[in-house]
Structure 1
Amino acid sequence: MTNWRPDPSQLRRPAYLSLAEQIARAIQEGKLVNGTKLPTHRRMAEDLGLSVQTVSRAYDDLIRRGLISGEIGRGSFVQTQPREPEPPYLPERLGEVIDLSILKPVCEQIHVEKMRQAFAWLSENLPASSALSFRPNMVFPRHRAVATEWLARCGLDVSPLNVSLTNGATSGMTTALMSVAPPGSTVATEVVSHHTLVPLSTYLGLHLEGLAIDEEGMIPEALDEACRKGPIRAIFLQPSVINPMAALMSAGRREALAAVASRHDIAIIENDVLGPMVEGRAPPMAAFAPERTLYVTTFTKTTVPGLRIGYLVAPDRYVAAVANRHLVSNWMATPAMAEIATRWVADGTAMELVAWQRRALASRHAIAAEMLAGLPYRAHPQSLHVWLPLSCGHTEDAFVAQARLRGVGIAPGKSFHTTDHGWTPAVRISLGSTTESELRTGLGIVASLAQGNPQELLLAI
């Protein structure tokens, strides 16, 4: 038990969040150390003049944040040791929350109907090999050939022998990292990058180094300096809008980064899940450095989220490694999904849905421009999200908490940060995860918070 107690005079409405914040600050300031037993719910309620239910909600909030643990029969204890990272999005949509935290394409009934039609076709046309074979090379030759047609739309001219089918982008990223960076090596990326890259690198035993960026992304000079200071095995890039800041890298910047990678003989992992949806973009990094780039794309962000299939293109030097790493981590992509993707690429459905998504996003960006007018947000006409830097005085935790209290879920910028230095508070806001009406309402709430007094937000929680 500890001698520290919350100050009842500092409690504000809602009281459970205010109490949780007092305890959280005490933990951060070292007044409550790891393993400290907290008072029981009833004892805390009596000390502060609160209801037991209010204290229980405060403790539950702290458990969700990973700051305390509740053990049946023993009580509640401070927990400050490393824990599993939280996703930037809400694990599930609760109650009436407008969920702008999870990155999704715009989806309507047309997407459900397309998938239903695809499964109806599949029920009559599923090849025996897709249903019965354990051998990827027996199932996927035809799919690899059609994949090259899609990859050509992405700006790549590749052989089917260099294409692996994966269960989406995360599977492709994992395989690519395992293929080029052994445990203990260093992978460089942008200071603001993919939210799964930090935990994934940890699980694979890799050191992740976040490098300086500008409005286009990674700065070539920063990469060159990092390579000179220590051994870098690979760089991970998202040059075409899908990155958190919705930045589109120019051809000149891609060429410069490719030159640095070539000079230091390091691999490039390119995440390009929006593929041909981004109009007017430069060719992929894989076109500038085909001999060293592992290119990942997928259909989930541009067609239908349920189409969990993707392509990983590897240069000749990494083809065998990719095949082996994919076997041990996934064995093979799901054949039924591969059949649907191949049919949609061949019959034009995939590009039809990409064009539909562009039109839908144009409408969503018009709403964002109206509701966030005057705020310094970043976006691209084909981005699925906007990136909103917070003005001086705003903290991400308080901003996200206040948005959540007002019924809007958004993603904190820290979820995408790969280093502890040079961080500017920001939030990511998805444009496709809800209806246009809810999006307008949610963006209005976010805008009012962004334009409000930061100190008032802190007092409110």
Structure 2
Amino acid sequence: MTMAFLDLATLHRPVYQSLADQIARAIADGRLANGVKLPPHRILAHDLDISVQTVSRAYEELIRRGLVSGETGRGSFVRRQEPSSDVPYLQERPGEIVDLSILKPVCEAMHLDRMKTVLAELATDLPASAALSFRPNVIFPGHRIVASEWLRHCGLKTSPDNVILTNGATAGMTVAMMSAASTGTVIATEAVGHHTLVPLASYLGLKIAGVEIDGEGMVPEALAALCRQEDVRAIFLQPSPINPSATMMGLERREALIAVARENALAIIENDPLGPLIEDRPPPLAALAPERTLYVTSFTKTVLPGLRTGYLVAPDRLMPAVANRHLVSHWIATPLLAEIASRWVRDGTAMELLRWQRAALKVRQAIVRDMLAGVEYGAHPEGLHVWVPLKSRAEEEVFVSQARLRGVALAPGRSFQIGRDEHPAVRIALGAASETELRSGLRIVASLHQAAPEPLLLAI
């Protein structure tokens, strides 16, 4: 077959990696269909005037990613692809690069020490139900009471009976989507939104529609227009600066979206993994419209990455559906992690670590202001990331690849695009790298932004 889409001029070092990336994009956008046989190594090497070894390494990289299968005596073929999330974070080995792509909280030795301490405590007084029981109603009644206490810090007053314990925000999102919409119907979300929504909706038989956004998030008039055109059953919102563009939705905008939801009988799924992290924030949508909002929060982005447990709050009318769908998809949250979270909420450790995180992120954001002076970007002073708009998708692709070549991993804006409208940008996560690495990475970002990066010309 021909590989006319390959562009030698835009290949950059390491060439095998760049070649693999071009072929991967062709697979993702359908230019290379499932089952298609790739050209033999020697033929492609001749066509591109590169070494056979370079092509072999590129094919091996595609096999490692699960995009291609190599069959002895037959050649290399495009594997059948399931819907993918185009994950916006680095999937390579850490330590080789400054990773500003993955969104995680700032962590120090203190965090590991806290976990070691609580595990030592559990070794002496672990509740029997946490290890031996198999029924949520036996294990979690006390945990739900503690959950309602934590949720008050999130700005939400709710009964323990309306809380489901989950294995983090992703599990909560999944159950909420299964409960709020039925097969073939539409869930509306921000045009720049959560990177897993499209594949998740595909697996659940739902449709995702990206709705126009502005500096406060989803535009109510655009949502109302979509409701007149499509069978919309729910809206998925990230009103806190966890959303890719790092915007905080104001109270008036929240109330306007709730009005559209009520007029069109829509459920609201509110994803709020930052919980109480942001000070002086408006009340959650779940506090303003408790009759229709499914509220999702967790501890992984604010307290400890490994504390993969959280809460899903649902109104009375949706609780039977939520409970049943959680049972069939997850059965129960992991009791040990739920026990740790409950202990930390009760003894104040969770809030202590959250306040520490808030202070650490203020320092990181100050570093951003210093290093990106003169660069236009979106951020919140207590947020986990910043969002740097770019002029075009082509510039975004070059920007990310140039940063990668210089040792910095960034998340491309395309990973968060939902719908047709393009919002070229890069997301820069602040928590994974050390402060020294962060300064180094941001210095490279600033220089690339100032220089308007161009593809490298290579001597191959």
> Retained in 2: the 8 A contact 1:190–1:418?
yes
Distance in 2 of aligned mates of 1:355 and 1:207: 38
SS at match of 1:451: helix
Distance in 2 of aligned mates of 1:225 and 1:197: 21
Distance in 2 of aligned mates of 1:228 and 1:413: 29
Q: Which amino acid aligns with 1:163?
A: V
Residues 1:282 and 2:282 aligned together? yes
1:96 corresponds to which residue? 96
Q: Which amino acid aligns with 2:442?
A: L
Change in Cα spacing, 1:9 to 1:332, as seen in structure 2 (3 Å) is: closer
What are the Cα deviations for residues 153-193 of structure 1, in whole angstroms up to 9, with x where unaligned? 11111111001110100010011111111111110001011
1:411 corresponds to which residue? 411
Greater Cα shift, 395-404 or 146-155: 395-404
What are the Cα deviations for residues 224-246 of structure 1, in whole angstroms up to 9, with x where unaligned? 11112232110000001111111
Change in Cα spacing, 1:327 to 1:3, as seen in structure 2 (3 Å) is: closer
Greater Cα shift, 445-454 or 27-36: 27-36
Change in Cα spacing, 1:67 to 1:364, as seen in structure 2 (3 Å) is: same
2:200 corresponds to which residue? 200
2:246 corresponds to which residue? 246
Please give the residue correspondences for 1:351-370 in structure 2 after superposition, counting only pairs within 5 Å. 351-370=351-370
Residues 1:448 and 2:447 aligned together? yes
Change in Cα spacing, 1:40 to 1:113, as seen in structure 2 (3 Å) is: same
1:430 corresponds to which residue? 429
Distance in 1 of aligned mates of 2:184 and 2:47: 50
1:457 corresponds to which residue? 455
SS at match of 1:221: helix
Residues 1:130 and 2:130 aligned together? yes
Distance in 2 of aligned mates of 1:126 and 1:86: 40
Distance in 2 of aligned mates of 1:128 and 1:11: 59
Distance in 2 of aligned mates of 1:85 and 1:54: 28
Q: Cα offset for 1:19?
A: 5.1
> Retained in 1: the 8 A contact 2:271–2:296?
yes
1:223 corresponds to which residue? 223
Q: Cα offset for 1:148?
A: 0.9
SS at match of 2:365: helix
Q: Which amino acid aligns with 2:150?
A: W
What are the Cα deviations for residues 12-70 of structure 1, in whole angstroms up to 9, with x where unaligned? 66544565577679889999777554442234445655333222233345557777554
Distance in 2 of aligned mates of 1:205 and 1:260: 24
Greater Cα shift, 442-451 or 67-76: 67-76
Q: Cα offset for 1:391?
A: 3.2
Please give the residue correspondences for 1:146-295 in structure 2 after superposition, counting only pairs within 5 Å. 146-295=146-295
1:374 corresponds to which residue? 374
Distance in 1 of aligned mates of 2:125 and 2:146: 17
> Retained in 1: the 8 A contact 2:184–2:207?
yes
Residues 1:118 and 2:110 aligned together? no
> Retained in 2: the 8 A contact 1:166–1:172?
yes
Change in Cα spacing, 1:82 to 1:169, as seen in structure 2 (3 Å) is: closer
What are the Cα deviations for residues 295-331 of structure 1, in whole angstroms up to 9, with x where unaligned? 0110110001111110111000011111111000110
SS at match of 1:376: coil
What are the Cα deviations for residues 78-137 of structure 1, in whole angstroms up to 9, with x where unaligned? 679765333111224355211111100000001000111111111112111111111101
What are the Cα deviations for residues 398-455 of structure 1, in whole angstroms up to 9, with x where unaligned? 2222221211111111111111x2212111111001111111111111222222234x
Change in Cα spacing, 1:252 to 1:458, as seen in structure 2 (3 Å) is: farther
Change in Cα spacing, 1:413 to 1:6, as seen in structure 2 (3 Å) is: closer
> Retained in 2: the 8 A contact 1:399–1:457?
no
Distance in 1 of aligned mates of 2:429 and 2:202: 27
Change in Cα spacing, 1:81 to 1:92, as seen in structure 2 (3 Å) is: closer
Change in Cα spacing, 1:330 to 1:21, as seen in structure 2 (3 Å) is: closer
Q: Cα offset for 1:460?
A: 6.2
Change in Cα spacing, 1:297 to 1:4, as seen in structure 2 (3 Å) is: closer
The TM-score normalised by the length of structure 1 is: 0.92
> Retained in 1: the 8 A contact 2:42–2:52?
yes
SS at match of 1:170: helix
Distance in 1 of aligned mates of 2:305 and 2:362: 19
Q: Which amino acid aligns with 2:73?
A: G
Q: Which amino acid aligns with 2:408?
A: V
> Retained in 1: the 8 A contact 2:41–2:56?
yes
2:85 corresponds to which residue? 85
Unaligned runs of 5+ in 2: none
Distance in 2 of aligned mates of 1:203 and 1:48: 38
Q: Cα offset for 1:249?
A: 0.5
SS at match of 1:209: strand
Distance in 2 of aligned mates of 1:384 and 1:95: 21
Q: Which amino acid aligns with 1:107?
A: C
| Identity fraction in percent | 63
Distance in 1 of aligned mates of 2:181 and 2:311: 20
Distance in 2 of aligned mates of 1:284 and 1:219: 17
> Retained in 2: the 8 A contact 1:156–1:286?
yes
What are the Cα deviations for residues 176-230 of structure 1, in whole angstroms up to 9, with x where unaligned? 1111111111100010111111111110000101101100001111111111223
Distance in 2 of aligned mates of 1:386 and 1:121: 38
> Retained in 2: the 8 A contact 1:309–1:337?
yes
> Retained in 2: the 8 A contact 1:398–1:458?
no
Change in Cα spacing, 1:80 to 1:4, as seen in structure 2 (3 Å) is: farther
Distance in 2 of aligned mates of 1:26 and 1:252: 43
The TM-score normalised by the length of structure 2 is: 0.92
> Number of residues paired by the alignment?
459
1:386 corresponds to which residue? 386
SS at match of 1:322: helix
> Retained in 2: the 8 A contact 1:266–1:292?
yes
Change in Cα spacing, 1:142 to 1:371, as seen in structure 2 (3 Å) is: same
Greater Cα shift, 15-24 or 174-183: 15-24
Q: Which amino acid aligns with 1:198?
A: V
2:316 corresponds to which residue? 316
